[in-house]
Amino acid sequence: MLNEVTISTAIINRYMTKLTSALDLDVAIVGGGPSGLVAGYYLAKAGRKVALFDRKLSIGGGIWGGGMMFNEIVVQEAGAAVLAEFGLAGSPFEPGYYTLDSVYTTATLVHKAMAAGLLIFNLIGVDDVVIKDERVAGLVINWGAVSTLGWHIDPLTLFARYVLDATGHDAEIASVLVRKMGVRLNTETGGLVGEKSMAAERAERETVTNTREVYPGLFVSGMAANAVCGGYRMGPVFGGMLLSGKRAAESILEGLA
Ligand code: 48F
């Protein structure tokens, strides 16, 4: 006979164990879009203690919707090696262009990253960072619904040796750091440069070079890297996002060594 209270107890116990294990991390990733998931995969594969937080119910960020809700994405030649690492192969379209089903791609990124050891917490938003010795040293977290509803409920905190802002176009973590601490970032202006209009080829290249440590302890990737460092947008071509996640993981691993 199924016991309803046993079901509740199982969920509560297991969740609390999982969340408690994420309170002192090597790397905390904010945002479960393509760059955050790929970074999480490589960091977990390297044996690091890494968790990813996304305030939404579903992980995947902007990939699910393909281009304008047509659920196909494009990956160019440069991204093919990362796709292969995830066991994904695009269908050749014209030379150098591959297409993939966006739902299959998202599900695969999530699956492989978790299989490598990435902990994922959906429904948890990140409101702020912890500062120690003029360095980002952790995250201030709360239930995703709390910020959506605008309730004032005090958050909880976790430590991380590095934080990756993979929050997409709004670069929420770098923004909160600048807004609250008034710090100078490692960007051309020292502030958030802001995202530029569409220029796919340039955007794809610069997404990778913009992936870097912008303040001690804080890296940026994906569209957050472009928003912080002044990159262009590229729309539904995803090679740059995958490569940005890989680059973020490699740079963070150097920092952790
Ligand atoms: O925007 P998003 O997919 O991040 P990305 O890795 O990829 C961008 C592309 O999907 C696409 C594009 C490529 O052509 O332009 O947009 O840069 O995903 C960002 C995720 O971060 C979550 C948000 O719910 C989304 O799933 N997020 C944003 N702010 C927070 C957050 C926050 N403060 N706390 C938790 N999650």
Q: Of 55, 143, 147, which is best to mutate to test ligand 1, by the most ligand atoms within 8 angstroms of its C-beta?
A: 55
Whether ipTM tops 0.90, in short, is yes
Give the percent of the chain with pLDDT over 70. 100
Which residue CA neighbors atom 30 of ligand 1 most closely?
A: 167
Report how far ligand 1's centroid is from the alpha carbon of 65 (Å): 12
Domains and CATH numbers, the chain: 25-255 (3.50.50.60)
Q: Which atom of ligand 1 is nearest to the CA of 35?
A: 6
Q: What is the pLDDT of residue 165?
A: 99
String of DSSP letters for 96-140: TEEEEEHHHHHHHHHHHHHHHT-EEEETEEEEEEEEETTEEEEEE
pLDDT single digits (tens) 165-204: 999 999 999 999 999 999 999 999 999 999 999 999 999 9
**Whether the CB of 231 sits within 6 Å of ligand 1:** no
Q: 102 a known binding residue?
A: no
Please give the model's pTM, rounded to 2 decimal places: 0.98
Task: Summarize pLDDT for 98-149 with one digit per residue, the tens.
Answer: 999 999 999 999 999 999 999 999 999 999 999 999 999 999 999 999 988 9
Beta strand pairing call for 156-165 and 24-30: parallel
User: What pLDDT digit, counting tens, does each position of 206-242 carry?
Assistant: 999 999 999 999 999 999 999 999 999 999 999 999 9
